[in-house]
Amino acid sequence: MTGAFRSRHRGETHVFGDLKTLMACASPRRSGDELAGVAAASATRRVAARMALADVPLRRFLDEPLIPYESDEVTRLILDSHDAAAFAPVAALTVGELREWLMSWEADAERLAALAPGLTPEMVAAVSKLCGNGDLIAIAAKCRVVTRFRSTIGLHGRLASRLQPNDPTDDPLAIAAGTLDGLLYGMGDAVIGINPATDNVDACIRLLTMLDQLRLKFEVPTQSCVLSHVTTSIQAIEKGAPLDLVFQSIAGTEAANAGFGVTLAVLAEAQDAALSLKRGTVGNNVMYFETGQGAALSADAHHGLDQQTVEARAYAVARAFSPLLVNTVVGFIGPEYLYDAKEIIRAGLEDHFCAKLLGVPMGCDVCYTNHAEADQDDMDDLALLLAVANVNFLIAVPGADDIMLNYQSLSHHDVMRLRHVLGRRPAPEFEAWLAGMGLLDDSGRVPPLPGSAPAVARLIGQGARP
- Per DSSP, the residues of 442-462 read TTS------TTSHHHHHHHHH
Task: Using alpha carbons, select from 87, 186, 91 the residue that is nearest to residue 447.
Answer: 186
- Per DSSP, the residues of 389-405 read TT-SEEEE-GGGEETTT
What does the DSSP 8-state code read for residue 90? G
- Quick check: 152 and 164 in contact, CB under 8 A? no
Task: Using alpha carbons, select from 414, 440, 437 the residue that is nearest to residue 426.
Answer: 440
Mean pLDDT (whole number) for 403-408: 86
Collect all residues with Cβ–Cβ distance below 8 Å to 149 and sequence separation of at least 6.
223, 244, 245, 279, 280, 281, 282, 283, 284, 285, 286, 324
- Quick check: 375 and 342 in contact, CB under 8 A? no
**How, if at all, do strands 5-9 and 12-16 pair?**
antiparallel
CB contact burial 3-24 (16+ within 10 A = b; e otherwise): eebebebeeeebebeebbbbbb
Lowest mean pLDDT of 111-125, 142-156, 170-184, 218-232, name the range: 170-184
pLDDT in tens, 46-97: 999 999 999 999 999 999 999 999 999 999 999 999 999 999 999 999 999 9
Is the alpha carbon torsion for 355, 330, 270, 252 positive or negative? positive
Confidence of residue 448 (pLDDT cuts 50, 70, 90): confident
Q: What is the pTM of this model?
A: 0.96
**How, if at all, do strands 160-163 and 191-194 pair?**
parallel
**How, if at all, do strands 5-9 and 152-153 pair?**
unpaired
Confidence of residue 2 (pLDDT cuts 50, 70, 90): low
- Quick check: 316 and 358 in contact, CB under 8 A? yes
Mean pLDDT (whole number) for 382-408: 93
What does the DSSP 8-state code read for residue 82? -
**How, if at all, do strands 224-226 and 325-328 pair?**
unpaired
Please check the confidence at residue 408 and state whether its pLDDT lies above 70.
yes
Please check the confidence at residue 147 and state whether its pLDDT lies above 60.
yes
Task: Using alpha carbons, select from 339, 342, 338, 332 the residue that is nearest to residue 406.
Answer: 332
Residue 449: predicted pLDDT: 86
Confidence of residue 464 (pLDDT cuts 50, 70, 90): low
450-457, Cβ contacts within 8 angstroms, sequence gap of 24 or more: 455/184, 456/184
Q: Is 191 helix (H, G, I), strand (E, B) or coil?
A: strand
Q: Is 87 helix (H, G, I), strand (E, B) or coil?
A: helix
Residue 451: predicted pLDDT: 82
Residue 153 pairs in a beta bridge with 147
Residue 240: predicted pLDDT: 97
The Cα 153–Cα 144 span in angstroms is: 10
Q: How many CB atoms lie within 10 A of CB 337?
A: 26
Cα–Cα distances in Å, from 219 out to 211, 224, 414, 432? 12, 13, 25, 11
Residue 465: predicted pLDDT: 57
Residue 416: predicted pLDDT: 96
Lowest mean pLDDT of 162-176, 212-226, 452-466, name the range: 452-466
Cα–Cα distances in Å, from 24 out to 252, 324, 447? 15, 31, 47
Collect all residues with Cβ–Cβ distance below 8 Å to 388 and sequence separation of at least 6.
137, 141, 422
Mean pLDDT (whole number) for 33-51: 96
Q: How many CB atoms lie within 10 A of CB 77?
A: 17
Residue 323: predicted pLDDT: 98
The Cα 310–Cα 304 span in angstroms is: 9
pLDDT in tens, 316-366: 999 999 999 999 999 888 899 999 999 999 999 999 999 999 999 999 999
Burial bucket for residue 376 (CB in 10 Å: 0-12, 13-18, 19+):
middle
Beta strand ranges found along 201-284 (DSSP E): 224-226, 246-249
Confidence of residue 247 (pLDDT cuts 50, 70, 90): very high
The Cα 209–Cα 214 span in angstroms is: 9
The Cα 412–Cα 162 span in angstroms is: 10
Task: Using alpha carbons, select from 275, 278, 292, 289 the residue that is nearest to residue 234.
Answer: 275
Cα–Cα distances in Å, from 20 out to 64, 127, 447? 10, 14, 51
Q: How many CB atoms lie within 10 A of CB 450?
A: 7
Residue 460: predicted pLDDT: 81
Cα–Cα distances in Å, from 466 out to 213, 214, 387, 442? 9, 9, 38, 33
- Quick check: 330 and 367 in contact, CB under 8 A? yes
Residue 463: predicted pLDDT: 59
Mean pLDDT (whole number) for 211-218: 95
